[in-house]
Amino acid sequence: MASLQEPWLLENGNLKGSSKEMRHGRTAHNMSSSSLRKKSDLTLVSKVKCGMLRLLLTNLQEVILGTKLSVLFPAIPLAIAAQCYGFGRPWIFALSLLGLTPLAERISFITEQIAYYTGPTVGGLLNATCGNATELIIAIFALGQHKVEVVKYSLLGSILSNLLLVLGTSLFCGGIANLGKEQKYDRRQADVNALLLLLALLCHMLPLLFRISGASASLTAVPTLQLSRASSIVMLVAYITYIIFQLVTHRQLFEAQEDSDEDDGDVNSEETPVIGFRSGIVWLVGMTAVVALLSEYVVGTIEDASESWGLSVSFISIILLPIVGNAAEHAGAVIFAFKNKLDISLGVALGSATQISLFVVPLCVVVSWMLGINMDLNFNLLETGALAISIITTAFTLQVIYTTNQFFIS
């Protein structure tokens, strides 16, 4: 009925015009992941007469083969076989990391498909909780094995890789590829994420400063732990407020903007879902279970890989785990920076860093509290200093870019 009353919404048989409502509020994470997807050819599948078999093959075609990272899916059964038959544990670690790469992108795809049925608010909430599911699951399994340092290093590495590697590469490549063009971005969205990151930095610095100011580590251990737990609750409340701000009150600021006049196959997406709602739920649960299995392999073999490769556990946790776990999302951010879509790149880098610092890290502190494990927010002086410099440098860099653009415009 809407199309009859407003014919301008139809263009070449597709709904246009009210893209924010029709596209169910696609976020920068969804847009970034879509750059690595490919259109499935269902010609042969459509000829299958059995309805259930046709549905199964369609789901396999869309979910497994609908990504350019499908070549990495064989690493999943190879990792399971290596674990079952007692192959070298460094091989299990490497294969598990490779298997986690396409799974992270596919979880983003499935949450977007579910959002077609649930609407933008529930879909955004799924993205807010599943956007960094890989890091969260790895952290929970590491906590279960009392590897608190691995949890801290991996989460810190995720924040640093988003702010320094992903955002830095996006700005550099986007600037080189678009010389002479104006690089625009929504300053309001960037300011919100920058302020939330500064809040998370303050909550991280308080336990560190309290520990340093104490006479001895033994006297300040319990108060530092209690301060960390209180700070974690504050961060979780701030994150819930941020989610309400993002999904309800100011949703338009966080929806990825698409240029309707550009013929960009990577950006344009189907206006209708390609898998059913129940199929999406089953796929989401199944892939989360596989991510949990591979995460258990990663946590259990990280020390063996460290000894075999001659790399420290901290280096593997800070550098390798974050890069491999979010390789698809990060690659998409750089691709869109090349296309001068800086809002999407910023949404991925800053949004993911905010989600980890305000949600994943304090949630791990609360979970460890429930498990009787002592995990605080004291990431040591060097690590906290690196986090502080990264956040402050990012905030100043974005301010300089915006000020420079305004100067040349005026």
Predicted confidence (pLDDT) per residue in 212-265, tens digit: 887 676 777 888 899 999 999 999 999 999 888 877 777 766 665 544 444 444
- What integer pLDDT is reported at residue 36 of this predicted model? 65
- b/e per residue 308-336 (b: at least 16 CB within 10 A): eeeeebbebbbbbbbbbbbbbbbbbbbbb
The tens digit of pLDDT for each residue in 276-310 reads 888 888 888 998 899 999 999 999 899 899 998 88
382 vs 128, residue with greater confidence: 382
CA atoms within 13 A on the CB side of 35: 21
CA distances from 346 to 309, 369, 394 (A): 34, 33, 11
Q: Which of 135, 125, 104 is nearest to 27 (CA)?
A: 125
pLDDT of res. 53: 78
Q: Read off the pLDDT band of 43 (50, 70, 90).
A: low
Q: Confidence class of residue 3 from pLDDT cuts 50, 70 and 90?
A: very low
Q: 81-116: string of b/e by CB count within 10 Å (b at 16+)?
A: ebbeeeeebbbbbbbbbbbbbbbbbbbbbbbbbbbb
Contact 224, 211 (CB under 8 A): yes
